[in-house]
Structure 1
Amino acid sequence: MLKKFLNFITFIDLPIRKKFTLFFFGVLFWFVIMFIISVAANMKINSSTNSIVNQFIPHERVAHKITRNLQDLGIHISEISAITDITALNQKVDTSRAILSDIRSFASVLAHGGQMHDVNRNSNQVIESITISPMKDSRATEKYTNALGVLVGNLDTKLSEIADLKITSLKSTSNDTARLMEKVKDFKQAIGEAGSLTEVYSANIAKWYKTYSGKITDVTSLTFYIWGSVLLIATSLLIVFTISISKAIAKPVQSITEQIRALSEGEVDLTKKIDISSKDEIGTLSEDFNILMDEIQDLSTFKKVIEEDDSLEDIYSRLGKTFSEKIGLDEFIIYEVSNSQNKMKPVYPIILNDKELLCNEDIIHNCDLCKVKKTGHIISSIEYPNVCRQFNTSLEKEHVCIPMIVGGRTGGVVQFLLKKANYMIDRKDKRMFKAEQYIRESLSVIEAKRLTHTLKESALKDSLTGLYNRRFLQEYTETLVAGVLRREKTVGLMMCDLDFFKQVNDLYGHNVGDNVLKETSEIIRKCVRSSDLVIRFGGEEFLVLMLDINAGETSKVAEKIRETIENTKIKVSDGVIKKTISIGVSEFPVDAESFWQAIKFADVSLYRAKETGRNKVVRFTSDMWTEKEF
C-alpha cells in the first residue's frame, strides 16, 4: 500500500512528459503559496509602516512644534510684562499672536491633514515642510485639536487683555501691576494646560507607534514561521519525489549505462536484469533492454557452444535448429560453397525430405550462377520481386538469401523460404534480422573450422608441438586478413618467447627442452579460445592470433599466459623446473595497416620485454618503431 501511495503521489507510472509537467506545477504551487504569504505580509507591514511614517511620526513632530511654540509664547508673555516701550510692546504682542496663529494652523493640519510649513519669524524663511495625513482613528486627534483650539482662543483673549493693561499702564501714571501680573499668571496657566494636553497627545502617539511596531514584528515573525513550515513541507515532498523519481529514472538509466559500458569492454554479466520499477518510458526502455540482453546472451551462448563443436556439420546443424526453434523460420537451406571447385552443396538439412530445391540445379555445379555467391550481398524477393533468375518463381514462395562471408569471400549461403501471403504487407521481418545476427556470430567460428579442416588435409603443423607452423601463416595470411577486414574486426597478435630457453638445453638436454616446448604450447592453447590460432613461429617462439577480439583484450590474455607459465612446474629427471615467458603484443589493423607489419611490431614489443627485464607483457606503442619504412 505504501509503495502504491508513493507511486501515486510521485507520478511514477505516468509518462515522463506528464511526470515533469505535474512536477513543474507542484513546484509552482508552493512558489505561489509563498508568494501569497509574502504579498499578504508585505501589505500588512506596509500598512503599519505607512501609518508610522505618514501619520505617527509627522503628528509627533507637529505636536513637538506646538510644544515648542507654547514654550516660546510663555517666554514672550514674560517679556511683555517687563517691557517699558510701547513700540517694543506692540512688536512682542504681534509676535505672540503669530505664534498663536501657527499653533492654530498646526492644530488644523493635525485634524484635517495637509502641508505644514515651519517659518523662521526673523528671516521669514521656511525651516521645514511636513506633509500630514489624518489619523485613521481621528477621535483622539479631534478631541485634542478641539480642546487646543479652545485654549488657543482663550490665550488670544488673555493676550489682548494683557496688552491693553500694559499699554494703559505705560500711557498713564497709574500703576496696576498686581492686576497685570494676575493676568500674566492666568496666561501662563493656560499655556501649561495646552502643554499638558499636547504631552498627553504625544504620549498617545507614542503608544500607537509602539502598537503598530509590534504588529510589524508579529507579522514578520508569523511570516517567517509560515515560510519555514511551507518550506519544510515542500522540501519533504520534494525529497520523497526526488528519491522515488531517481529510483524510477536514474537507477535504471545508470544500470543500462553500466551494462552498455561493460558490454563494450567485454565484461558484461548478460544474466543481470534491469529492475522495472515503473510503467513509463523508462520502464519500457528497461524492458526492451532486458530483451536485448537476452538476445545478446543467446548470441554469446550460441557462439561459445559452436566454438566447442567438433565439425562444420555440427555447426550447421546447430545453426539450423536455432533458425527453427528460436527464431521460428522453418523452411531454409544452408549451402556450403567450395570456391576452389566452383561448386556449392546443401549441407543442412542433409536430407531434404519433402523439401525441394527451389533454385536452378545448375548452381550446384557452377556456383557463380548464384547471385548471392557472386555479389556477396543479401538477395530478397520481398524487397525486389524477381531479383534472382535462378529461383523458381512459379511457386508461391518468397526467398531471402544471406551470404556467409568467410575469408573475404562467399563461403556459404543461407536461403530462407517464405509464404507470399504472410509478407504482402510486412516487408521488414524482424526474424530475418535475428537470423542474420546468428549467421554473423557463426562466421568466425566457421572460418576457423574450415581452416582447421584445410589444415588437416595438409602438412601445416609442427610435428613436436602439434601447433600450426610458419608455412601455414604464409599460405593463409591473405584469407585471414580478408576475413578480418570484411568483418571490420580486430586480430590480436602475441609474439611469445621463453626466457633463457638455451639454458634448458645446455643444462638438461634437448629432450627436456622438447618437453618444455610441448608444455608451453599446451598452456598457450588452453589459455586462448578454440577459434584462435597458435603457431610455432620458430625455435622457442610462438605466435598467437586472436580473431575478432575487442581492443585491449589481447594484453589480458597475454598476461594470463605469462602468469600460467610462471606458475607451472615442469618435471625433469632430478626434480622440477620453472620457466618464464616474455610476450610482445600488437593488434591488426589497430597498430598497422599491414598484417606482417603488425607481426613485426609484436616482435619489436617482445624484444622490448626482453630488454626491460623479461617475464613481462609489453604492448606495442608507436614510439617503439622509429624507422620510416617497414
Structure 2
Amino acid sequence: MNLKKRFNLFLVLFVFAILIPTIIILIVSFRDYSLKNATNKAHIVANIVKDGLTTHMENHIMDKRELFLSKIKRIDGVKELKILRSENVEKQFGKSIESFQKIDSLEKEVLKTGEKKSKIIETKDKVFLKVAIPYVASAYDIPNCLKCHNAKEGEVLGAISMEFDITDVRENSLVTIGKIAFLIFIIFVIGLLFINFYTKKYVGFFVNLKGIIQKAYEGDYSGRLETFKDKELSEISKGLNALFEKIERSLSSITKSVNYFINFKAKSSDPLLSVQELVYELASIYKFKNIIEKDKNKFQIYNRIIELLHNKYEIYDFIFYEIDKKSGIRKIIYNNLNEEICCSANEEINLCRAFRTQNRVISDKYLHICEASKSEKFYLCLPLKITDDYSIVLSFVTSAKNEHNRVKEIVDNLKNYLNVSKTAIETQILLEELKDLSLKDRMTGAYNRRYLDIFVKESIPKALRSGTPYSILMLDIDHFKMVNDKYGHDAGDKTIKELVNNISANIRESDVIVRFGGEEFLVLLYDCNKEDAKKVAQKIKDNFNSKKIDVGKAEIRKTVSVGISEFPKDTKQFWQAIKFADIALYRAKEEGRNKIVIYNLQMFKMTEDY
C-alpha cells in the first residue's frame, strides 16, 4: 500500500474513531436526558394526583375521587394509576379497591421506606416508566395529616403508583440521534474531502521524496523531486534536489580523486559505501606508508610486505625475490613453498619474464608462459621496479583455481601498497649505496680505512668469541712509483684496478679487500689459517704477475709483494696483527720483492706491546 492510500485510510479511520464515540455519547446522553425528562413529568403528574386527592379529602368530595382518577388515567401516556394504602390506614379506613391488586417490589419498597422510586421497564417494542410517590404523615403539612389519621409523624400513609408509556420518547430520541449522527457524518466527510484535497500535494511530495530516498538508499543518487506549484514545497524540492546533486557530484569527485592515487575496486555498488571503502583503504595505505618510512632498512620493509600478505590478504604460499640487475643475482627473501618454480632464473635473471617485461605474468591462460617456470600449478608473478638496478618480484603459487582467482582479484589492491613501498625501499637502497660509497674507495671499489674501523669494532669481537681465525694479507705493487713517473697517473690507476680485480677473482664473498694506502691493500680472509692464506696469496701473485696491463703507450707487467699474519694466533690484538702483516711485507721487499712472507716471531724480533 502506497503512502497516499495509507494516508487516506488513516483519515477515514481517524474520522470513524471520532464519529463513533461521539454518536455513542450522544445516544447515551440523549437517552438519559429523555428518560430524566419523562421521569420529571411523571413525578409532576403523580404530585398533581396526590394534591388532587388531598383536596378532595379536605373538601369532603371523595365521592368524586373516581371521576378525578379516571380523567387522570385518560391522559396520553398514562398506562396505570394505583392509590395504595398502608396497613395502618387500612385498619383505620378499610381497604381500597387497589388493595386487592398485586403490589410489586417497587411499590412495597416505597410504602416501607417512604421514598420516591422509579424504574424503566423495557420490552422489545415498548418502554414504560413506573413512578411511586409516598404519602408521609406530618403535622406541619397543609393540611395537617395527623388530624384525620391515627399516625405518627413521618409515618407512610400510602402511595400513588403510576406507569407511563414512554415508547415515543425512545423513538423520538433515536430519530433525533440519527439526524444528529448523519449531520456529524456529513460534516466529517466534507472535512475529510477538504483535508484530502488540501493535503494531496503534500502526500504527493512525500511519495516522491520516499522514492528518491529509497533510490539513494540503494546507491542511486540521480533521482530528483518533481516541481510543485506550491511555493513552500517548490523551495523544499529545489533545496533537496540541490543537496542530492551536490552529494552525487561530491561522491563522484571523491571517487575519481582517490582512484587517481590508488587502484581500488570497491565491493559495494553504493557510491557512498564505495567512498567509505576507498577512504578506509587510503587511510590503511597511508598508515602503511608512515610505518615503512621509519623502518631501518629495506629488509624490514620486505617483512612488512610479507606481514601484509599474511594478515590483510591471508596469502601464505608465495616467493619473494629481490633482483639486482647490476650483479645479475636474484635473491630469495621469503619462500613458504616446498619448491621453487623457476630456479634457473636465480642465475640468469632475464629468464624471469616478470622481471624482464616488468608486467605481471599469469599462468591460467597459458601454463608455461614463463620459460623459467616448470611448475604445473597456477602462478601469478607481480614485479615492482625499485630503481634501474633493483626490482622485486612476488610469485604467488596455488593449486586450486578458485584461490588463483582470488589472488588475481587481490593483486590490483596489493599493488597500491607496493607502489607506496617503492619510494621507501628506494630510499633505503640509496642510503645503503651512500653508506657503501662512504666506506669504499671510489676508484677501485675496495673498502677504505673507515670501513676497516667499523669491521674491527663489529666483527672481531664475534671472531674472538667463536674462535674464528682471520688471515691478513698485506699486498703492495713493486716499483709502483716508476709506473706513475714513466706512464702517468692514469696508468698507475689502471694498474691498481687490475690488482683489485685480480684479488676479487681469487677470494670468497666472505673475504674483504681494504685499500690501506696508495698501492697497498689489505685482504682479510675469513676462517682461514696461514697455510691456506699463502695459497690464496700465491694465486693472486701469479695471476697478477702474468697480466699484461695496457697503459696506452705500452703493455707492462708488474709484480706484487705479500706479507701474511694470522689473527688471533699471532696476537689477540687485531691492529697488531695488521702490523705484523705489514712487517712481513716489509721483509718481502727487503728480500728482493715479488715474494710472499709469513710473519714468524723467530724471524722478527718484536715487542709484545708494539
Q: TM range, normalised to the smaller chain?
A: 0.3 to 0.5
The structure with the largest alpha-carbon Rg is 2
Q: Which has the higher contact order (CA 8 A, sep 6+)?
A: 1
